[in-house]
Copies of this chain bind each other. A is one copy, B any other.
Amino acid sequence: MSEQEHSVNKDKRELKTYQEARLQNTENLRKLVVDAAATILQEEGPEAVTVRKVSQKMGCSTKIIYSLFVNKEGLAQQLYLDGCKIMAREFEATPALADPREHLLALGETYWQFAQRYTSYYKLMFGGAFGDFKPDEESLQGTVTAMRQLIYVVGSAQQQGLLSASAPADTVEIVRLVWGALHGVIHLQMGGHLGDVPSAYATYQQTLSLLSSTLFAKQDS
Residue numbers of A with Cβ under 8 A of B are: 47, 123, 126-129, 131-132, 134-135, 140, 143, 166-168, 173, 176-177, 179-185, 187-188, 190-194, 202-204, 206-207, 209-211, 213-215, 219
In the complex, are the beta carbons of B213 and A166 less than 8 A apart? Answer: yes
A36 CB to nearest chain B CB (Å): 22
Which of A131, A177, A185 has its CB near the most chain B CB atoms (within 10 A)? A177
Once A128-B129, A182-B184, A184-B185 are accepted as A-B contacts, the answer to whether A206 and B190 lie under 8 Å apart by CB is no
CB contact between A214 and one of B132, B173, B204, B210 (< 8 Å): that residue: B210
A163 CB to nearest chain B CB (Å): 12
Please, how many angstroms separate the alpha-carbon atoms of A34 and B188 in the complex? Answer: 25
28 A-B pairs with C-beta separation under 8 A:
A126-B188, A126-B193, A128-B191, A134-B191, A134-B192, A135-B192, A135-B193, A140-B192, A166-B209, A166-B210, A166-B219, A167-B210, A173-B206, A177-B210, A179-B184, A180-B181, A180-B184, A180-B185, A180-B188, A180-B204, A181-B181, A181-B184, A182-B184, A183-B184, A183-B188, A184-B187, A210-B215, A214-B214
Please, how many angstroms separate the alpha-carbon atoms of A140 and B188 in the complex? Answer: 12
Q: A134-B192, A135-B193, A214-B214 are in contact. List 19 more A-B contacts (CB 8 A).
A: A47-B131, A126-B188, A128-B128, A166-B209, A173-B203, A176-B185, A176-B188, A177-B210, A180-B184, A180-B185, A180-B194, A180-B203, A180-B204, A180-B207, A181-B181, A183-B187, A184-B185, A210-B211, A213-B214
Once A128-B190, A134-B191 are accepted as A-B contacts, the answer to whether A181 and B168 lie under 8 Å apart by CB is no
| Copies of this chain in the oligomer | 2
Residues of B within 8 A of A177 (CB): 185, 203, 206-207, 210
Residues of B within 8 A of A207 (CB): 177, 180-181
In the complex, are the beta carbons of A203 and B187 less than 8 A apart? Answer: no
A108 CB to nearest chain B CB (Å): 13
